[in-house]
Amino acid sequence: MIVNAIGGPTLVTKGNYIHQMYAAGYLGTIELVKRKQKTVTWSELDFFEDLKVVFIYLFDFFIMVCSQVAQAIFVTLTYYI
């Protein structure tokens, strides 16, 4: 897969994103990944639950934006009427 062939090396190659994102740096981050890899289970990687959570956040965000737009339209209309 493209993710494994390009994404992984791009993230974990020394000097790339992992080295820049975490205070532990390259070696510390690799050590953290090695330790966690030994204990991770499939139940922790519940893809559909993650999708559900993302959907809920996106829905809440959409409702908030719509209410702000509706409020702005209402204020504008009441100003001109």
Question: Would you list the domain boundaries of the chain?
Answer: 1-40, 42-81
Query: Which pLDDT value is given to residue 7?
Result: 66
Q: What angle do CA 21, 10, 39 make, to 5 degrees?
A: 70
Cα 30 to the chain's mean position, in Å?
Answer: 20
Query: Which pLDDT value is given to residue 66?
Result: 92
> pTM of the prediction?
0.40
Stretches in the chain below the pLDDT threshold 50: none
